Amino acid sequence: MKIKYLILFFLLFTSFHATSNFKSDIKIKSESIEFLKDSKRVTFLNDVEITSEYVSIKSESAMYDEIKNVITFLGNPSSIKSIKEENLFDGQADKILFFTDEKVHLKGNATMKYENISISSNHIIFNPQTGKMSSG
């Protein structure tokens, strides 16, 4: 049964990535998966790790919302780091939002390190492809 939901999630997630430049093989690990058909959401629970060609994100839970076209990661804290050596960064926050406009929002006790720059704020907006970072 979980495989069926996982395949459906990959179809949803592929459409998410088709509009983004984060083209990659997405690998998702979690202890359980819930698919909420009416709200078009897929939730991953317990020790979630999502890796792509560009980033690795670890959290306690993650939810893909097809309507808002965003993946929300929650944890104490959730963490993000680069996979590409030429664009090294890492960060953490209570909540990480991954949008199709190639921006990642770190919210709540957020920290981000990119090259020799470190930012701490309640809200950091970061583009993993360009390295552009701002505090919101």
Domain range for 11: 2-135
64 beta partners? 42, 71
pLDDT in tens, 121-133: 999 998 877 777 7
CA angle in degrees (0–180, nearest 5) for 99-128-61: 50
Taking the C-alpha atoms of residue 109 and residue 85, their distance in angstroms, rounded to an integer, is 26
Does the model's pTM come out above 0.75? yes
CATH label of the domain that carries residue 106: 2.60.450.10
The mean-pLDDT minimum among 12-26, 84-98, 115-129 falls in 12-26
Category of 68 on φ-ψ map: left (φ > 0), alpha (ψ -120 to 50) or beta:
alpha
More confident call, 71 vs 133: 71
Looking at residue 8, what is its pLDDT? 42
Total number of domains constituting the chain: 1
